[in-house]
């Protein structure tokens, strides 16, 4: 709204400057034709004031009605009609004011065709400029509305993706707590407290679009503490973080579902100790986080939806409009997921 008002003000100022310059030019031309200063001044003021009013009429018409390309003849007809109406009003006004000056009236009659031609050019130019101006304004408003709609849809999809990631973990944790309440009630109480801290942190982080790596690791540690209670000695983690990456930014709550995926497939159908490694480094000004888990090459993991990694892929695309930021690879009996996060300044 403020931008529109400023544009209207600039238009009015430019229009007033044009009216003043054109009035002075016409006055000089009339004086060169030998008219006395008074009739020349009256002619210039009356003619250009009515011409300015005519231009404003057609400009205002373009504001509320923009003809499409197949109807541009409408602009031509309106310009011809308004120019004719302007000529009639000018002749009536000048006849009323200067009718007693025979020399001036003779010049007025001789210049009828010239006046009409100049008026038509002015009105037609104003019509075309207004048409272009308001067409651009309409297109800009349409683009703004489209961008806002796309932003709302993108934010809604991101929110939905983030919300869908939590139930899988919660169900597993609640099942573990249920099992522990009978055989190890103390561990069950401890896990409930950890789950409470995790959910509180999750709600707080869910309101943020971005986190530092340091904040994300704090949140991730809460999740790992809960998983440690579930799996006991079997789950080991090795976290290697370069110091210069701790303040780098990444989408909030991005790493937890990747680590959850690594734990799920790393501990599937195994009874021994499993080490999940997490590494973060800065590379070409971007944050690169790699999460690695072992897997049994002779045992296929259970068929799943693949929702975790696909959701991360979708979040990264919606945020950065790139499909190459999530990479996976497997070498021998290790599976590695690597996320690259461009740093937005």
Answer whether residue 240 is part of any domain: yes
Answer whether residue 153 is part of any domain: no
Answer whether residue 61 is part of any domain: yes
What pLDDT, on the 0 to 100 scale, is given for residue 303?
45
Answer whether residue 154 is part of any domain: no
Residue 345 to residue 83: CA distance in whole angstroms: 55
Q: Domain boundary residue among 102, 117, 147?
A: 147
Kindly compute the dihedral angle of the four CA atoms of residues 212, 277, 193, 256, in this order, to the nearest 10 degrees: 50
Answer whether residue 259 is part of any domain: yes
Q: Are 130 and 179 found together in one domain?
A: no
Angle at 154 between CA 150 and CA 156, to 5 degrees: 115
The model's pLDDT over 243-302, given as tens digits with 9 standing for 90+, comes to 999 999 998 888 888 888 888 888 866 778 889 999 999 998 899 999 999 887 665 544
The model's pLDDT over 88-100, given as tens digits with 9 standing for 90+, comes to 998 899 888 888 8
Residue 279 to residue 292: CA distance in whole angstroms: 9
Residue 202 to residue 323: CA distance in whole angstroms: 26
Q: Domain boundary residue among 97, 120, 147?
A: 147
Give backbone dihedrals phi and psi of 251, rounded to 5 degrees, phi first.
-55, 135
Among 307, 314, 223, 203, which Cα is nearest to 263's?
Answer: 223
The model's pLDDT over 24-43, given as tens digits with 9 standing for 90+, comes to 888 888 888 777 888 888 88
What pLDDT, on the 0 to 100 scale, is given for residue 279?
95
What pLDDT, on the 0 to 100 scale, is given for residue 337?
93
Q: Are 325 and 185 found together in one domain?
A: yes
Q: Are 170 and 217 found together in one domain?
A: yes
E strands present in the chain: 210-212, 235-241, 249-251, 274-283, 286-294, 326-331, 334-341
Give backbone dihedrals phi and psi of 241, rounded to 5 degrees, phi first.
-125, 125
Structural domain count, the chain: 2
Residue 68 to residue 103: CA distance in whole angstroms: 47
Range of the domain at 61: 2-147
For residues 133-157, one letter each, b for 16 or more C-beta atoms within 10 angstroms of the residue's C-beta and e for the rest, the string is ebeeeeeeeeeeeeeeeeeeeeeee
Q: Are 142 and 198 found together in one domain?
A: no
């Amino acid at each position: 709204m403020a931008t529109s008002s400023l544009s209207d003000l600039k238009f009015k100022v430019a229009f007033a400057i044009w009216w003043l310059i054109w009035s002075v030019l016409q006055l000089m031309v009339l004086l060169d034709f030998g008219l006395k200063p008074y009739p020349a001044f009256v002619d210039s003021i009356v003619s250009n004031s009515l011409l300015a009013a005519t231009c404003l009429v057609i400009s205002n018409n373009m504001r509320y009605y923009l003809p499409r390309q197949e109807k541009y003849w409408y602009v031509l007809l309106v310009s011809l009609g308004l120019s004719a109406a302007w000529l009639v009003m000018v002749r009536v006004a000048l006849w009323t004011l200067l009718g007693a000056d025979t020399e001036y009236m003779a010049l007025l009659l001789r210049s009828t065709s010239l006046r009409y031609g100049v008026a038509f050019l002015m009105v037609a130019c104003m019509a075309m400029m207004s048409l272009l101006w308001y067409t651009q304004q309409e297109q800009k408003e349409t683009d703004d509305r489209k961008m806002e709609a796309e932003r709302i849809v993108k934010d809604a999809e991101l929110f939905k993706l983030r919300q869908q990631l939590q139930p899988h973990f919660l169900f597993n944790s609640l099942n573990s707590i249920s099992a522990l309440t009978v055989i190890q009630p103390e561990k069950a109480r401890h896990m409930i407290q950890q789950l409470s801290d995790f959910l509180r942190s999750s709600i707080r982080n869910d309101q943020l679009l971005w986190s530092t790596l340091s904040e994300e690791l704090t949140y991730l540690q809460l999740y790992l503490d809960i998983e440690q209670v579930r799996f006991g000695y079997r789950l080991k983690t090795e976290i290697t973080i370069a110091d210069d990456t701790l303040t780098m930014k990444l989408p909030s709550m991005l790493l937890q579902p990747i680590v959850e995926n690594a734990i799920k497939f790393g501990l599937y159908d195994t009874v021994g100790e499993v080490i999940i490694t997490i590494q973060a480094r800065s590379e070409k000004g971007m944050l690169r986080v790699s999460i690695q888990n072992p897997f049994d090459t002779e045992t296929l993991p259970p068929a799943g939806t693949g929702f975790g990694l696909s959701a991360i892929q979708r979040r990264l695309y919606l945020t950065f409009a790139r499909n190459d930021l999530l990479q996976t690879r497997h070498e021998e009996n290790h599976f590695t997921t690597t996320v690259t996060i461009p740093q937005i300044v």
